[in-house]
Amino acid sequence: MKVLSVASECVPFVKTGGLADVVGALPGVMAQAGVEMRVMLPGYPAVMAAIGKGEGVLHDDDLFGGPGRLVSAQAAGIDLLVLDAPHLFDRDGSLYMGPGGQDWPDNPERFAALSWMAARVAAEGVGTWRPDLVHGHDWQAGFAPYYLKKRGADVPTVFTIHNIAFHGTAAADRLGALRLDPADFVQDGGFEFWGQIDALKAGLLWSDRITTVSPSYARELTRPEFGAGLHGVIEARAGDLAGILNGIDTEIWNPATDPHIVARYKSPRGKAKNKKALRQEFALPEAGGPLCVVVSRLTEQKGLDLLIDALPALVDRGGQLVLLGTGEAALEAAFRDAAHHENVAVHIGYDEAMSHRLIAGADAILVPSRFEPCGLTQLYALRYGTIPLVALTGGLADTVIPANPAALSKGVATGIQITPPTAHALALGLIDLCTLYQDKTTWARMQRNAMAQPVGWAASAAAYARLYHEVADPA
């Protein structure tokens, strides 16, 4: 089974969020399931630097405004096809935005080019390699199934929604520039969305199967409050939709071997030295309550505005907070203000090694997201025996066993869940967290349960492999 995975980011080359972690992890885990996967990425400067010269395997003299070529290379153990198109990707700024913080105006063309070349690879192959299936990720690969179907190529497609909040829209007057058939720009059965071209909708409609990154998120997407205007489209294709949980790299995230933490450990007892070091790093005093951390983008989606209002419920009971993240300016300012409290520390920015130290040293991690397709930080936390307090949504609901009376009596709880996502519910959850922390026997049992929870890719890789075979060989 040969699969072309098409995405806009991939660890360890470029990353803005969990999408990159998943795309980077899949080739290795799928190889163990008998799937040969190549990843197609845009040729951002960081990616081109990582692959070196490479080998040009497919050329296009008219690639949405200039010439481009696909470069075959291997880096970090991943087989890559990199779209080297300097007019589209060789620029300063982030992956999707310029130095001024605004989206690149030609983002529709940039990622249409990625989809266009993916369709060419599927239809024509590169050298002796031709995929049996194309797996596209999020709106940036949304037109790949469409272009492929329009070519008449008999190569099936799977399309994964990592976050439905981002659609990849463009004005209707760009139909020609994006090589789209105006006959397909219709409300029902086409990629029109409120008068605009919608790349995500195209992926949902023209792919053979749809997946998303947790079973609960798959169900949520059929509801208006979660579907971002596309709930009807998804509900109509519910028979083709599957929720497959993300996993994490259990080698990188392993408290027994982690090079970033002060003291490596195999049981929750080993966390004590890391907790002491974390307090020293952030100049926090000794305290009687739980040391909590947040490692997150600071956005409304993540529910961190709720934490500002609920924070007294934690610190008034001897709890502490260390936050690592960056995002909306108002939230950054609010947490800087909160850090005037002696038991609150804030680092605005992102530091991978620091994130490991926080998760290893904390008693608990807070993830009060309003919606969360899957979430990875709660999985990292479980691996390290750090108790997650999460909202009852998406993958958070699927991966954390709440400390309700039934779970506590059976000794299986791994965390705390709150619902609905409000400041009041979060405050009550923080009170419960502080109460559970004082019961050392129960807390230690929850930590052991957390560390025993399977959070790797084995089950999910098997599910993807079954899906690929169902789609590519339905007989």
* DSSP H/E element including 159: strand 157-161
> Are both 2-247+458-472 and 268-452 of the same fold?
yes
What pLDDT is recorded for position 240? 97
pLDDT along the chain (475 residues), means of 10: 97 91 94 96 97 92 97 96 98 91 95 98 95 98 97 95 96 97 94 97 98 96 95 96 95 96 97 98 97 96 97 98 96 98 96 96 98 96 98 97 97 98 98 98 98 95 96 83
Mention every residue, 6+ apart, whose C-beta is less than 8 A from residue 55.
71, 72, 73
User: Which 3 state secondary structure label does DSSP give 23?
Assistant: helix
| 25: its two tokens | 């992890």
pLDDT digits (tens, 9 = 90+) for 418-468: 999 999 999 999 999 999 999 999 999 999 999 999 999 999 999 999 999
Amino acid identity at 331: L
Amino acid identity at 430: L
Find how far residue 438's CA is from the centre of its chain: 34
* DSSP H/E element including 291: strand 291-298
Q: Rounded to an integer, what distance in angstroms lies between the CA atom of residue 197 and that of residue 173? A: 9
Q: Rounded to an integer, what distance in angstroms lies between the CA atom of residue 298 and that of residue 277? A: 25
Q: Where are the domains of the chain?
A: 2-247+458-472, 268-452
Its CATH architecture, for the domain 268-452, is 3-Layer(aba) Sandwich (3.40)
Q: Rounded to an integer, what distance in angstroms lies between the CA atom of residue 315 and that of residue 333? A: 19
Which residues are registered as beta bridge partners of 192?
Answer: 197
DSSP 384-450: TTPEEEEESSHHHHHH--B--HHHHHHT---BEEESS-SHHHHHHHHHHHHHHHH-HHHHHHHHHHH
- Residue 236's CB: how many other CB atoms inside 10 A? 15
Domain 2-247+458-472 has CATH 3.40.50.2000: yes
Phi, psi torsion values for 333, nearest 5 degrees: -65, -40
Q: Rounded to an integer, what distance in angstroms lies between the CA atom of residue 408 and that of residue 194? A: 48
Which residues are registered as beta bridge partners of 55?
Answer: 72
The answer to whether residues 461 and 30 touch, using CB atoms and an 8 Å cutoff, is: yes
Is 15 among the annotated ligand-binding positions? yes
First-to-last C-alpha distance (Å) of the chain:
15
* DSSP H/E element including 149: helix 143-151
> Residue 363's closest CA among 258, 284, 459?
284
User: Which 3 state secondary structure label does DSSP give 317?
Assistant: coil
Q: Rounded to an integer, what distance in angstroms lies between the CA atom of residue 323 and that of residue 458? A: 31
Residue where the block lists tokens 């050329």: 59
User: Which 3 state secondary structure label does DSSP give 366?
Assistant: strand
User: Which 3 state secondary structure label does DSSP give 188?
Assistant: coil
Q: What is the pTM of this model?
A: 0.92
pLDDT digits (tens, 9 = 90+) for 237-280: 999 999 999 999 999 999 999 999 999 999 999 999 999 999 99
Residue where the block lists tokens 């109460």: 435
What pLDDT is recorded for position 451? 98
Residue where the block lists tokens 């030609």: 106
- Residue 46's CB: how many other CB atoms inside 10 A? 12
Mention every residue, 6+ apart, whose C-beta is less than 8 A from residue 16.
9, 94, 95, 96
SS (H, E, C) 44-77: CHHHHHHHCCCEEEEEECCCCCCCEEEEEEEECC
